[in-house]
Structure 1
């Protein structure tokens, strides 16, 4: 894909691929505490310097959890000035740092060079956002090229030429100067995480589940970054990594605790809550499999369909599985949450998620909804076509089914199923319910 000077082709990323609740974070905390006082492991022998860590997690409250649970001093970048400057100062001092994914995305090449020089181990709780489409029109791209503001270099890399530029694309200038902005086929621009963000570390551990179905896996494959997967095994109070073995996962037991609302097969008729949100009388198999996808919401769904979905959500939590609002969590495409919200499924127009029970589709690694006994996942997950085409340029094909079920399971485990308790599930997309069942039978 793209080569970066200094890339260590022999480095292997350690992917700890285990179900939620298997002990990934507990293993990481144990690993840190057991290695206190140990020196860095280098090819030419120990350097005499103690091991240092950068722990990356999606949420600030998880940062605090890691600081409290480990026996070394983890520092969090301060808000004074900018957090990125604080982060750089901590690295310069050789401190261990606990931070969020959002800040990790902003590390520039100078900071990554300092990380490599000091010698750090990276522990990344949940996968990173390694690929994002940059919102810019084809005409604006042409204008920037014609004005000599940018040029497209080797491997379609965007090179910024105007050092004195100040304007609406100043954020794009920062991305380009960080050597990680790509123009695909002259029409779509992507930010990709610089591979140095993984290469600069002595060791890297990624804690996640169903890694093969996620974008970060395809990013590694496209960049020829080697990785090895491990499972977590608990013996008494001790956690250890073993060779990856999905058969040890309690998939069947977990699935049996999910009370999934399904069609009434005994009467050989479709349940109104799962089928009547599409107002067309006859559907092809392709149309049926794409119901509730992003394309369906934006191009196919009628006002009548969306009203029916709204009614279905309300009826499910009022009549099918009566649940108090504080024990509900639900999701859909964020653009349509205001349309589907109702007295049971709350959505705060001020974007204050603490005032409602809506959870973002990509929510991971949060325990805030562990008391919730009922959920709704009103979405049918497919990869963005632009992202799919991006990977295809490098001969990489994304498994849409693995991607979909991976995201669904991550969402399910925000609720009480993470505590091994039964949970009510409204998943109206037939494809998503089928994929979940296939997962439980180890078919995915």
Structure 2
């Protein structure tokens, strides 16, 4: 198989990025917008968590939102029926990410507006053994476009009923891209964004996020907006004209630990994923576990139910400990209020984009800002805690790089 690269596609759609700091009222604006909208408009509201699904169903009173049910042929089939019947729909990222060409066609035939609460995972590694990939290619079950890298299923192959049904379905929708003769990437079907009359994405620091890089790769046009509250009413304003965020109050609310427990993260790549996986670092990983325990026990002394921590998922068993294990919150958690009682936090990773994903975007001429990407991920995680309610927090962030990024952010007006 030759080395191939995906092409860029120029598409036009009406996408508005509602880029405002956490707690500024993005979700409140969306609920207000849907309550006031003409009944001829149909909405699909997509959120990361089931708890937020119920919140939308309860808060939007001028129309009835329906959640796809796992009945008959499953949630996806039920979603298609709801779209066909022009219902207002609320669901999760997990279901929406499985959208196929039939969903796209149904949306085009309707009058739908999409509100996406937080960016989605739109590009990811697809785990397929290389021998399996070679088998699919050598037997003619798949072809790989020499210009774009798009994997396509061969409908004329004699092998149609195999264990590779997921590959078959995704490649039929052109959702798989082969990169550098090494890795398969799954990509969310870009054409779905053209299927809506308008798309609103509620987020913060979009310029650092993978969905932004994905849009740039496909040359999708989007515009930035921000939420502004006037008395008790929420309005959208041009992002460039918004008032700078005042970080002075935030600085007083985040007690960043500064002491010897930070020594473990002094080197630029310390606490990165590769650092944790390096065979010679097992003693340091054990030391990191002791540091977390010491921080919660000796430095802040908060009860276990007030403690929140994160690491890379694969390393959780090596780092969990007494007084904080149950407070684990995934490092990519977004748009949830479930942890808003957490007071003392430990963020013990040094965030970088997946190396091949970074190369994938760079190969398409898309500039990836690793520091801004890391900062965006960190801020979203911190804001799962009680700081979203204007209450002070304690923060242990041993990576010198991550700690510096946060401190620089708190002194900026972005």
Task: Give the match's secondary structure for 1:156.
Answer: coil
The CA deviation at 1:443 is 7.3
Structure 1 contact 291–429 (Cα < 8 Å) conserved = yes
Match of 1:221 in 2: 216
Match of 1:423 in 2: 393
Match of 1:330 in 2: 309
The CA deviation at 1:146 is 0.9
What pairs with 1:42-191 in structure 2 (closer than 5 Å)?
50-71=40-61, 72-81=63-72, 82-153=74-145, 154-161=147-154, 162=157, 164-191=159-186
Alignment partner of 1:362 is 2:332: yes
- Residues in 1 aligned to 2:279 and 2:191: alpha-carbon distance in whole angstroms: 42
What pairs with 1:277-426 in structure 2 (closer than 5 Å)?
277=264, 288-299=267-278, 302-346=281-325, 356-426=326-396
The CA deviation at 1:3 is 6.5
Question: What is the root-mean-square deviation in Å for CA atoms of aligned residues?
Answer: 1.7
> What is the total number of aligned residue pairs between the two structures?
403
The CA deviation at 1:2 is 4.5
Task: Give the match's secondary structure for 1:226.
Answer: coil
In structure 1, runs of 5+ residues without a counterpart are: 38-49, 263-270, 347-355
Change (3 A) 1:91 1:193: same
Change (3 A) 1:440 1:35: same
The CA deviation at 1:361 is 0.9
Structure 1 contact 12–225 (Cα < 8 Å) conserved = no
The CA deviation at 1:320 is 0.3
- Residues in 1 aligned to 2:138 and 2:16: alpha-carbon distance in whole angstroms: 44
Q: Given the alignment, which residue of 255, 260, 273 partners 2:256? A: 260
Cα-to-partner distance string for 1:193-217 (whole Å, 9 max, x where unaligned): 1112211000000000100000000
Alignment partner of 1:243 is 2:238: yes
- Residues in 2 aligned to 1:174 and 1:340: alpha-carbon distance in whole angstroms: 38
Match of 2:3 in 1: none
Match of 1:353 in 2: none
- Residues in 1 aligned to 2:302 and 2:164: alpha-carbon distance in whole angstroms: 47
Structure 2 contact 141–159 (Cα < 8 Å) conserved = no
Which segment is superposed worse, 143-152 or 26-35? 143-152
The CA deviation at 1:174 is 1.4
Structure 2 contact 11–219 (Cα < 8 Å) conserved = no
Change (3 A) 1:151 1:329: same
Change (3 A) 1:376 1:172: same
- Residues in 2 aligned to 1:64 and 1:33: alpha-carbon distance in whole angstroms: 16
- Residues in 2 aligned to 1:97 and 1:164: alpha-carbon distance in whole angstroms: 38
Q: Which has the higher contact order (CA 8 A, sep 6+)?
A: 2
- Residues in 2 aligned to 1:194 and 1:163: alpha-carbon distance in whole angstroms: 27
The CA deviation at 1:164 is 4.5
- Residues in 2 aligned to 1:415 and 1:108: alpha-carbon distance in whole angstroms: 36
- Residues in 2 aligned to 1:251 and 1:28: alpha-carbon distance in whole angstroms: 25
The CA deviation at 1:252 is 3.2
The CA deviation at 1:229 is 0.9
